[in-house]
Amino acid sequence: MIFLCYIGFDVVSSASQEVRNPQKNMAVGIMGSLAIATVLYILTVCVMTGLVSYTALNVGNPVAVAIDAAGLSFCWIKHLLKLVLSRG
């Protein structure tokens, strides 16, 4: 499921046609984008577990639970994030 979050790899592979040394640069680009996405994912999870206990996040949409616990004053952002991140 985590790998579905890494959708930027096709951009890296399609951009590899325009570099001077694609054999080296494509590997560096893919590993770099994987590292950035992993760090962002870990930071998101750390913030979510800082807001809500990890046992309360064992639901279908844990991001919505964390958003509710944050008490965002921007109602449109909360509803937009719930809509985008909901799983049905």
pLDDT at 86: 66
The backbone torsions φ and ψ at residue 3, rounded to the nearest 5 degrees and listed phi first, read: -70, -20
What DSSP string describes 74-88?
A: -HHHHHHHHHHH---
- Does the pLDDT value for residue 1 go beyond 50? no
pLDDT, tens digit, 9 for 90 and up, residues 34-84: 888 889 889 988 988 898 988 888 887 787 788 778 876 666 766 777 777
pTM over 0.75: no
Report CA torsion sign: 49, 52, 54, 59: negative
Provide the token pair at 31. Answer: 């590993």
Q: Where are the alpha helices (DSSP H) in the chain?
A: 9-15, 22-51, 62-70, 75-85
- Whole-angstrom Cα distance, residue 16 to residue 24? 10
